[in-house]
Chain A
Amino acid sequence: MTTLVDWLRDPSPTSRRQARLGQSYLAWLRLKRNHLAMIGLAIVALLVIVAALAPWITPHDPITQNLRERLQPPLTAGHILGTDDFGRDILSRLIMGSRITLFIIALVAVTAPVFGLLVGTVAGYFGGWTDEILMRITDIFLAFPKLILALALVAVLGPGMENAVLAIAITSWPPYARVARAETLTVRNSDYIAAVRLQGASAARIIWGHIMPMCIPSVIIRVTLDMAGVILIAAGLGFLGLGVQPPMPEWGAMISAGRKYLFEQWWVATMPGMAIFIVSLGFNLLGDGLRDVLDPRNSGK
């Protein structure tokens, strides 16, 4: 263990990989000092583990109905979090639902930021007309309230998980384009970009290899902070019946189903609400911590 740490902390690395891993290790040490961020990371890690192991750790089938056991309160034998109006175990549904939540988050996280980053860096680097056209398109998307635009898209495309993901991705890329463009404008006239231009690098090479690495930290921070919003929009679509369709155990749809019983059987809606709250909180805490670690303005020294 100590040899590995020494290897990582070596001030004169002997290979590209060691240099990169060493930098990641230092970032990890900085992140570790931030207790709230570690709590956030633990929540996100727990979500990933639960989602990965979901079929094996659910105590009951999340879809099979059992009307004799409907609306059991929490802490009933066999149903720690109670059952819903079809007698399905809420804990099992939450565990299976974590897969859907994670699936939506993952798909949005690999599409929207990448597209936004591309649009933002291209607009920022070329400037002029390219910038005008790309940023006006971005403005048009930003002018709509996110949930309304997502609703309109799902209404056109039809309800379902894939369409929900598509709608969320289409509505959430513009802020990334803005962030990436702002970051690009601060670095495009710097000497190190001038130097690589002078070496005859193509625009694609400069944007990909030299400008994007400078934008990625702010985009990653933004992504983690936005993930809570993505979960809420997905839940909102589910709540309105436009996202994941029953009997799939999506958290927003579960809240929607529990609304009818909110006063007498509060747990049906409250438990998925708690799950959404905890996961959103986890991503927000992690995002705040990552901002302290990755922000280019304080990692230079």
Chain B
Amino acid sequence: MALIEIENLSVTFTAKGRPVRAVKGVSLAVEQGESYGLVGESGSGKSTILRAICGLAPVSGGTIRIGGQPLPSPRGADFSRRVQMVFQDPYASLHPRHTIDRTLSEPLAIHGIGNTDQRVTQALKDVGLPPNFRFRFPHQLSGGQRQRVAIARALMLEPSILLLDEPTSALDASVQAETLNLLNRLCAERGLTFLMVSHDLAVIDHMCDRILVMQHGQAVEELPREALAKAEMKTDYARSLFAASADRMLDA
């Protein structure tokens, strides 16, 4: 049985009185310890799937199960301790008026976990930030450092599943590689399961065991890593998406 099972998921937003179907009947399954990538152009509904898992998007049909259990709504404390998310833009995902310390200790306070000082310093160390960053504010950090803080925050509750919403697209190339390596290392150390969204096949190729190509809110094609490496796509859309970022993959 897969760890994350999504069956026939639909998400419908209401914009200016008209329904907008962002996700139309997508199914996928992610095994324990696997890195699963969602790929597609902007607006293909890939981020919406992550938000739907977190209960941040209106699900209009289908089921999401984690560990075989359907998710309760609202999600509840158990969910928070199993699933956490890293957001796309590190400039928007950290509270501008909270110190790094406050940002990292907030999840501990919410869940009544003690030993805050030691956990926060350890978390900074785990993501490769010096301990004297602890009482800085986000505006005193660079984009890559902020994303490290965001990753540390997501790991504070020791979740088994990490949802990654284009975690590197707001960062420049060298910092991207650093951040991806950090994620790969944490994944190996902690046996995390990744569900990752990107429009960049180079990033996906570096990280994921399997990918799902999406277009206009629908699943187009699921590919294992080997098929991606050998460019064995069955559909035209997946092939054109692959061709568009093939140059960058050769560099990597």
Interface of A toward B, CB cutoff 8 Å:
11-16, 18-19, 23, 190-192, 194-202, 205, 209-210, 213-214, 296, 300-301
Contact = CB atoms under 8 A, between A and B. Distances in A.
B54 A198 contact: yes
Interface string B83-98: 1110111001111111
B118 interface: no
A211 to B, nearest CB: 10
B85 A195 contact: yes
A12 B95 contact: no
Given A190-B92, A192-B93, A213-B97, A13 B136 contact: yes
Contacts of A190: 92
A198 B136 contact: no
Interface stretch (B1-9, B104-112, B172-180): B104-112
B139 A192 contact: no
Nearest to A199: B107
Contacts of A200: 75-77, 79-81, 107, 110-111
Contacts of B83: 198
Contacts of A16: 99, 101-102, 135
Which 7 A/B pairs are nearest by Cβ-Cβ distance? A12-B132, A200-B80, A191-B93, A19-B135, A13-B135, A199-B107, A191-B87
Contacts of B76: 200
Given A23-B137, A192-B94, A199 B106 contact: yes
Q: Which of A13, A197, A209 neighbours the largest number of chain B CB atoms within 10 Å of its CB?
A: A13
A300 B97 CA distance: 9
B97 A214 contact: yes
Contacts of A198: 54, 56, 75, 80, 83-85
A209 B103 CA distance: 11
A76 to B, nearest CB: 55
Contact of B153 (A13, A18, A195, A205): A195
Contact of B110 (A12, A201, A213, A300): A201
A197 B106 CA distance: 11
Nearest to B88: A191
B133 to A, nearest CB: 7
Contacts of A15: 135
B106 A196 contact: yes
A270 to B, nearest CB: 45
B93 A12 contact: no
Nearest to A210: B95
Contacts of B87: 191, 194-195
Given A199-B80, A200-B111, A201-B106, A18 B135 contact: yes
Interface residues of B, number: 39
Contacts of B54: 194, 198
Interface centre among B54, B92, B96, B157, by most A CB within 10 Å? B96
B159 to A, nearest CB: 10
Interface of B: 54, 56, 75-77, 79-81, 83-85, 87-89, 92-99, 101-102, 106-107, 110-111, 132-133, 135-137, 139-140, 150, 153, 156-157
A195 B155 CA distance: 12
Nearest to A11: B140
Contacts of A300: 96, 139
Contacts of B98: 210, 213
Contact of A192 (B84, B95, B101, B136): B95
Nearest to B76: A200
B135 A14 contact: yes
Contacts of A23: 137
Contacts of A13: 135-136
A153 B96 CA distance: 41
A13 B102 CA distance: 13
Contacts of A196: 95, 106, 110
A12 B136 CA distance: 6
A210 B54 CA distance: 19
A290 to B, nearest CB: 16
A106 B102 CA distance: 31
Contacts of A18: 135
A26 to B, nearest CB: 10
A293 to B, nearest CB: 14
A23 B98 CA distance: 11
A18 B137 CA distance: 12
Nearest to A19: B135
Nearest to B95: A192
Given A191-B89, A202-B110, 12 more contacts: A16-B101, A16-B102, A191-B92, A195-B85, A195-B150, A196-B110, A199-B84, A199-B107, A199-B157, A200-B76, A210-B95, A296-B96
Nearest to A23: B137
A195 to B, nearest CB: 6
A192 B150 CA distance: 10
A61 to B, nearest CB: 49
Contacts of B132: 12, 14
A11 B100 CA distance: 13
Contacts of B79: 200
